[in-house]
Amino acid sequence: MDTAFFLRWIATVTERVRAERDHLTDLDRAIGDADHGSNLDRGFTAVEEALVTTSPATPADVLTTTGTTLIRKVGGASGPLYGTLFRTLGRSIGDVAEVSPEALADAFADALGAIMKLGSAAEGDKTMIDALAPAVPALKVSFDAAAQAARDGARATTEMRARKGRASYLGERSVGHQDPGATSMAIVIDSLRAA
Protein backbone atom coordinates (compact mmCIF):
# COMPACT_ATOMS: atom_id res chain seq x y z
CA MET A 1 0.00 0.00 0.00
CA ASP A 2 1.46 3.32 -1.12
CA THR A 3 0.86 7.01 -0.38
CA ALA A 4 -2.11 7.08 -2.77
CA PHE A 5 -3.73 4.21 -0.84
CA PHE A 6 -3.43 6.06 2.47
CA LEU A 7 -4.78 9.27 0.92
CA ARG A 8 -7.72 7.24 -0.41
CA TRP A 9 -8.31 5.73 3.03
CA ILE A 10 -8.41 9.11 4.77
CA ALA A 11 -10.59 10.61 2.01
CA THR A 12 -13.03 7.72 2.45
CA VAL A 13 -13.13 8.22 6.23
CA THR A 14 -13.74 11.95 5.70
CA GLU A 15 -16.60 11.30 3.28
CA ARG A 16 -18.25 8.69 5.52
CA VAL A 17 -17.87 10.71 8.71
CA ARG A 18 -19.57 13.58 6.87
CA ALA A 19 -22.40 11.29 5.72
CA GLU A 20 -22.78 9.76 9.23
CA ARG A 21 -22.28 13.02 11.11
CA ASP A 22 -25.86 13.35 12.39
CA HIS A 23 -26.10 9.66 13.27
CA LEU A 24 -22.86 9.82 15.29
CA THR A 25 -24.08 12.95 17.04
CA ASP A 26 -27.43 11.30 17.83
CA LEU A 27 -25.60 8.34 19.42
CA ASP A 28 -23.60 10.81 21.51
CA ARG A 29 -26.82 12.66 22.44
CA ALA A 30 -28.09 9.49 24.13
CA ILE A 31 -25.04 8.87 26.35
CA GLY A 32 -22.82 11.93 25.97
CA ASP A 33 -23.03 15.56 24.90
CA ALA A 34 -24.21 15.33 21.28
CA ASP A 35 -21.01 16.42 19.59
CA HIS A 36 -19.20 13.30 18.34
CA GLY A 37 -20.35 13.65 14.71
CA SER A 38 -19.63 17.36 14.55
CA ASN A 39 -16.27 16.90 16.34
CA LEU A 40 -15.08 14.33 13.81
CA ASP A 41 -16.55 16.14 10.80
CA ARG A 42 -14.72 19.33 11.81
CA GLY A 43 -11.53 17.36 12.39
CA PHE A 44 -11.56 15.43 9.11
CA THR A 45 -12.54 18.53 7.12
CA ALA A 46 -9.40 20.17 8.52
CA VAL A 47 -7.44 17.00 7.66
CA GLU A 48 -8.72 17.17 4.07
CA GLU A 49 -7.39 20.74 3.79
CA ALA A 50 -4.08 19.88 5.47
CA LEU A 51 -3.47 16.97 3.09
CA VAL A 52 -4.01 19.24 0.08
CA THR A 53 -1.74 21.97 1.46
CA THR A 54 1.13 19.74 2.58
CA SER A 55 0.96 17.15 -0.26
CA PRO A 56 2.53 14.34 1.79
CA ALA A 57 5.23 12.27 0.08
CA THR A 58 5.01 9.04 2.10
CA PRO A 59 2.35 6.93 3.86
CA ALA A 60 3.78 8.04 7.22
CA ASP A 61 3.44 11.71 6.20
CA VAL A 62 -0.26 11.16 5.41
CA LEU A 63 -0.84 9.48 8.78
CA THR A 64 1.18 11.97 10.84
CA THR A 65 -0.51 14.99 9.23
CA THR A 66 -3.90 13.36 9.83
CA GLY A 67 -3.16 12.66 13.49
CA THR A 68 -1.62 16.04 14.24
CA THR A 69 -4.53 17.87 12.61
CA LEU A 70 -7.12 15.86 14.58
CA ILE A 71 -5.35 16.64 17.85
CA ARG A 72 -5.28 20.33 16.94
CA LYS A 73 -8.88 20.61 15.68
CA VAL A 74 -11.00 18.23 17.75
CA GLY A 75 -11.72 19.46 21.26
CA GLY A 76 -13.46 16.36 22.62
CA ALA A 77 -11.93 13.21 24.06
CA SER A 78 -11.99 11.62 20.62
CA GLY A 79 -9.53 14.17 19.13
CA PRO A 80 -6.42 13.17 21.09
CA LEU A 81 -7.44 9.48 20.90
CA TYR A 82 -7.90 9.41 17.10
CA GLY A 83 -4.89 11.73 16.76
CA THR A 84 -2.80 9.23 18.67
CA LEU A 85 -4.11 6.37 16.51
CA PHE A 86 -2.96 8.00 13.25
CA ARG A 87 0.30 9.39 14.64
CA THR A 88 1.25 6.01 16.08
CA LEU A 89 0.44 4.29 12.77
CA GLY A 90 2.75 6.78 11.03
CA ARG A 91 5.59 6.31 13.51
CA SER A 92 5.23 2.53 13.48
CA ILE A 93 5.35 2.06 9.70
CA GLY A 94 8.28 4.47 9.41
CA ASP A 95 9.83 6.12 6.39
CA VAL A 96 8.85 3.67 3.62
CA ALA A 97 7.18 4.16 0.23
CA GLU A 98 5.11 0.95 0.42
CA VAL A 99 3.53 -0.69 3.45
CA SER A 100 2.93 -4.46 3.60
CA PRO A 101 -0.29 -5.83 5.13
CA GLU A 102 1.83 -7.36 7.94
CA ALA A 103 3.47 -4.00 8.74
CA LEU A 104 0.07 -2.27 8.79
CA ALA A 105 -1.35 -4.94 11.13
CA ASP A 106 1.64 -4.51 13.46
CA ALA A 107 1.23 -0.72 13.34
CA PHE A 108 -2.44 -1.09 14.33
CA ALA A 109 -1.40 -3.24 17.29
CA ASP A 110 0.96 -0.42 18.38
CA ALA A 111 -1.80 2.15 17.89
CA LEU A 112 -4.24 0.12 19.98
CA GLY A 113 -1.67 0.01 22.79
CA ALA A 114 -1.09 3.77 22.56
CA ILE A 115 -4.82 4.60 22.70
CA MET A 116 -5.40 2.23 25.62
CA LYS A 117 -2.55 3.85 27.50
CA LEU A 118 -3.67 7.42 26.74
CA GLY A 119 -7.29 6.84 27.78
CA SER A 120 -6.48 4.12 30.35
CA ALA A 121 -9.35 2.09 28.89
CA ALA A 122 -9.62 -1.64 28.25
CA GLU A 123 -11.96 -3.82 26.21
CA GLY A 124 -15.43 -3.88 27.74
CA ASP A 125 -15.35 -0.26 28.93
CA LYS A 126 -17.76 0.75 26.11
CA THR A 127 -15.41 2.90 24.05
CA MET A 128 -13.79 2.99 20.62
CA ILE A 129 -11.42 0.31 21.96
CA ASP A 130 -14.27 -2.21 21.68
CA ALA A 131 -14.31 -1.78 17.90
CA LEU A 132 -10.53 -1.43 17.43
CA ALA A 133 -9.29 -4.28 19.66
CA PRO A 134 -11.12 -7.13 17.84
CA ALA A 135 -10.13 -5.62 14.46
CA VAL A 136 -6.39 -5.77 15.20
CA PRO A 137 -5.95 -9.58 15.09
CA ALA A 138 -8.45 -9.76 12.21
CA LEU A 139 -6.19 -7.44 10.17
CA LYS A 140 -3.78 -10.38 9.97
CA VAL A 141 -6.49 -12.19 8.00
CA SER A 142 -8.02 -9.54 5.71
CA PHE A 143 -9.53 -6.06 5.62
CA ASP A 144 -12.93 -7.74 5.23
CA ALA A 145 -12.41 -9.70 8.46
CA ALA A 146 -11.22 -6.57 10.26
CA ALA A 147 -14.22 -4.53 9.09
CA GLN A 148 -16.58 -7.28 10.24
CA ALA A 149 -14.84 -7.57 13.63
CA ALA A 150 -14.98 -3.80 14.17
CA ARG A 151 -18.66 -3.64 13.24
CA ASP A 152 -19.50 -6.56 15.56
CA GLY A 153 -17.40 -4.95 18.31
CA ALA A 154 -19.22 -1.64 17.93
CA ARG A 155 -22.59 -3.37 18.04
CA ALA A 156 -21.61 -5.26 21.20
CA THR A 157 -21.09 -1.95 23.07
CA THR A 158 -24.87 -1.54 23.21
CA GLU A 159 -25.12 -4.01 26.08
CA MET A 160 -22.10 -2.64 27.94
CA ARG A 161 -22.05 -0.28 30.86
CA ALA A 162 -19.66 2.63 30.23
CA ARG A 163 -16.61 2.84 32.48
CA LYS A 164 -14.70 5.58 30.61
CA GLY A 165 -15.54 8.96 29.12
CA ARG A 166 -18.68 11.03 29.57
CA ALA A 167 -21.00 8.04 29.17
CA SER A 168 -19.58 6.59 32.42
CA TYR A 169 -21.36 9.39 34.34
CA LEU A 170 -24.63 7.69 33.39
CA GLY A 171 -23.70 4.38 35.02
CA GLU A 172 -26.41 1.77 34.37
CA ARG A 173 -28.32 4.22 32.15
CA SER A 174 -25.55 3.94 29.54
CA VAL A 175 -26.69 0.36 28.84
CA GLY A 176 -28.89 -0.04 25.75
CA HIS A 177 -27.10 2.52 23.55
CA GLN A 178 -24.32 1.86 21.05
CA ASP A 179 -21.14 3.81 21.80
CA PRO A 180 -20.54 6.69 19.36
CA GLY A 181 -16.73 6.32 19.35
CA ALA A 182 -16.92 2.57 18.69
CA THR A 183 -19.32 3.35 15.83
CA SER A 184 -16.94 5.86 14.24
CA MET A 185 -14.01 3.44 14.73
CA ALA A 186 -15.93 0.82 12.74
CA ILE A 187 -16.22 3.41 9.93
CA VAL A 188 -12.46 4.04 10.07
CA ILE A 189 -11.68 0.30 9.79
CA ASP A 190 -14.31 -0.40 7.14
CA SER A 191 -12.85 2.45 5.06
CA LEU A 192 -9.59 0.47 4.75
CA ARG A 193 -11.52 -2.19 2.91
CA ALA A 194 -13.16 0.41 0.68
CA ALA A 195 -9.79 2.09 -0.04
To ligand ADP, the closest distance from the beta carbon of 129 in angstroms equals 5
Site for Mg ion in 9-28 (CB under 5 A): 28
**Do 50 and 92 contact (CB within 8 A), yes or no?**
no
Q: Using CB under 5 A, which of 6, 21, 25, 32 touches Mg ion? A: 32
Interacting residues toward ligand ADP by CB under 6 A: 28, 32-33, 35-36, 39, 76-78, 81, 119, 121, 127-129, 164-166, 179-182
Rounded to an integer, what distance in angstroms lies between the CA atom of residue 53 and that of residue 51?
6
Q: How far is CA 147 from the centre of its chain?
A: 12
Out of ligand ADP, Mg ion, none, what residue 150 binds, judged by CB under 5 to 8 A for its kind, is none
Residue nearest to Mg ion (CB): 32
**Do 17 and 24 contact (CB within 8 A), yes or no?**
yes
Dihedral over alpha carbons 22, 24, 28, 29 (to 10 degrees): 20
**Do 71 and 83 contact (CB within 8 A), yes or no?**
yes
Q: Using CB under 5 A, which of 20, 35, 179, 190 touches Mg ion? A: 35
Residue nearest to ligand ADP (CB): 181
To Mg ion, the closest distance from the beta carbon of 21 in angstroms equals 13
